[in-house]
Amino acid sequence: MSIVERPPRLAPYDMFQRYLSLRVPRASKGAGDEINRNGPIIPFALNNYLCLTPKYGGADQAIKLKDILLGLTWGSGPKAPSLRSRFGLTGPELMAVFCGKGSPVQMETALSMVDFVIREMPDKLQKQFPKLVQLGIASMQDMQPQKSVLIGLDCNGFVGNWQSAAGFVGVSPENSIGFWPNRGKRKTLDEIHEFDVAPFADDSHIVVFDEVFHEGGKVYANIVQSTGRIEGSASSGPQYTLRHQITPTATPGEFLIHNNGTAYTSVVFTSAKKVKIVSSGFRDMPT
């Protein structure tokens, strides 16, 4: 028998495009203590990988920026409200943004807040965080280059946020690697579908299949993920690569994802990687 599952509200490729096309509203001072958050829209492409784990780069500077932003207030009087509350952000949401876990909406809101602080409160921010000056960050757009990774997305962050946006209940950007191997595992190549999730066998990474092609007994997948890029590439973060061949291993339920053989590939697939492939909840899963 099989469990018939609904299609997702949002495909992985659409989520990839969403992160590369953030729309950040410019905020400005209003009357009194008000903040006008309906200014012109600033485009922002999220092209950085950010992960708390030191092995994968760490997020020390991003966490420091987050802590500074959490401490800012806006308004008159001895009990002025937090600035983040003026932007509708909770503390955990701000934490998610600067730990590689933010959703597109959370990132847009946090970037709007950062842009406001850089323009309207530069003395406070630059005194507490001189790294901004060292990195040449004079505007929110300066946070896009890879050399200044203060905001970005890790692999769990992409897969978990895609799952949430797509309508799957029970997974978050914090638990996707550990969560998915406990779901129904694909056992053969024939079972692999689009929207399946592939955690690495050593739990070091996770990707999702946007499209899967069964051709002449071989299986290929277009992969969406967030990770670093090969040396010399301009950016990292959310990525989309085409036609990676998937082959079985001698261990049932484990597969290899191969380099797609093109001039550009992500850093994690410069060699074949052993993965488990599991149902995301958006296609039939044999039981």
Task: Inform me whether the pLDDT recorded for 263 exceeds 50.
Answer: no
Question: What is the number of domains present in the chain?
Answer: 2
Considering only residues 252 and 2, tell me which one the structure prediction assigns the higher pLDDT: 252
**Do 185 and 101 have their domain in common?**
no
Q: Within 13 Å, how many C-alpha atoms sit on residue 213's CB side?
A: 10
**End-to-end C-alpha distance for the chain, whole angstroms:** 6
Pair 224, 138 in one domain: no
**Residue 64 and residue 34 in one domain:** yes
pLDDT of residue 102: 95
Last residue of a domain, one of 116, 148, 180: 148
Residue 39 inside a domain? The answer is yes
Predicted local confidence at residue 2, as pLDDT: 36
Tell me whether residue 7 is in a domain. Answer: no
Q: Domain end: 117, 148, 179, which one?
A: 148
pLDDT in tens, 264-273: 555 667 788 9
Q: What does the pLDDT average to over 86-101? A: 94
Domain termination residue (choose one: 148, 183, 213): 148
Residue 6 lies in a domain: no
pLDDT band at 262 (very low <50, low <70, confident <90, very high): low
127 shares a domain with 22: yes
Is residue 214, in this structure, part of any structural domain at all? yes
Mean pLDDT along residues 59-71:
90
pLDDT for residue 67 = 92
Mean pLDDT score across all residues of the chain: 83
- Domain presence at residue 1: no
Using 50, 70 and 90 to split pLDDT, how confident is the model at 99? very high
Under 8 Å between Cβ of 153 and 46: yes
In a domain, 4, yes or no: no
Q: Do 197 and 160 contact (CB within 8 A), yes or no?
A: no
Structure tokens at 175: 């638990």
Stronger pLDDT, 269 or 183, i.e. the higher one = 269
> Which one is predicted more confidently, 249 or 145?
249
More confidently predicted of 265 and 213:
213
Q: Name the band, by pLDDT with cuts 50, 70 and 90, for residue 74.
A: very high
236 shares its domain with 198 = yes
Domain that holds residue 16: 12-148
Q: Is the pTM of this model over 0.75?
A: yes
Residues 209, 132 within the same domain = no
120-134 mean pLDDT: 79
Q: Tell me the pLDDT tens digit for each residue of 136-176.
A: 777 777 776 655 568 899 999 999 999 888 887 667 787 76
Look at residue 125 in the predicted model and tell me its pLDDT.
77
Binning pLDDT at 50, 70 and 90, where does residue 7 land? Answer: low
Mean pLDDT lowest among 123-132, 153-162, 212-221, 271-280: 123-132
**pLDDT greater at residue 138 or residue 187:** 187
